[in-house]
Amino acid sequence: MDTEGNRGVPTDPGHPRTKGDADEFAQTYACLRRLAKRELLRAPQQSINTTVLAHEAYLKLRGVFGGEVPRGRLLALAAKAMRHLLVDHVRAMTAVKRGGSLARITLHTGIPVQGEQSAPDLLVMDQALRALEARQPRLATLVECRFFGGMEFEEIAGHLGISQATVYRDWRAARAFLQSHLAEAHEA
């Protein structure tokens, strides 16, 4: 019996083998929606909604597996898929055909908008993660799992097959790298 939640999760809702598989899929789908909602709350200016992001992430993941997937692996892949979907969406919205090279004028109302100042630019964050991935892929995976996937350190340790102490050390190193990269991008 699995007490740690590592049981595989069915990735094909059209063919659940048992009622338990259907229940597992429902839980997985709910998890995808929670991840999507969390990401969209972090970046409120997005013109994509929770359902679309969850469905697109599922469609990206569906072709990857042909059976059951360990929960940690599914969360990690969902985080990566959502990151790529959001970055692609931002790139599409800032494309030249949408006036991407034109200067944007913002009407300042004096009313604070939640997350407006605290959310780093998604494209800058993506560049920083790509730079980190080129140097230390494990650290980039850890950031994706934590930042985009909302996974706990214990889950990340299980997924990566390393100790929690190593996860904490890697998290500190990754944060320092990203903060440095984001500061450089902000100054430029």
pLDDT at 155 over 80: yes
Token readout for 98 is 């949408």
Q: Quick check: is 109 in a domain? A: no
Parent domain of 175: 120-188
Residue 115 lies in a domain: no
pLDDT, tens digit, 9 for 90 and up, residues 1-59: 333 344 444 445 455 556 666 777 777 788 888 888 887 777 656 678 888 888 888 88
Q: Does 48 lie in the same domain as 11?
A: yes
The phi-psi region of residue 49 (left if phi > 0; otherwise alpha if psi is between -120 and 50; otherwise beta) is: beta
pTM greater than 0.85 (yes/no) = no
Do 96 and 125 share a structural domain? no
Number of domains the chain is built from: 2
Q: Are residues 4 and 95 in the same domain?
A: yes
Amino acid sitting at position 1: M
> For the domain that residue 160 is a member of, what is the CATH number?
1.10.10.10
CA gap 33, 52 in Å, rounded: 9
For the stretch 65-78, pLDDT in tens is 555 667 778 788 88
| Close Cβ partners of 79 (under 8 Å, ≥ 6 residues apart) | 35, 144, 145, 147, 148, 149, 150, 151
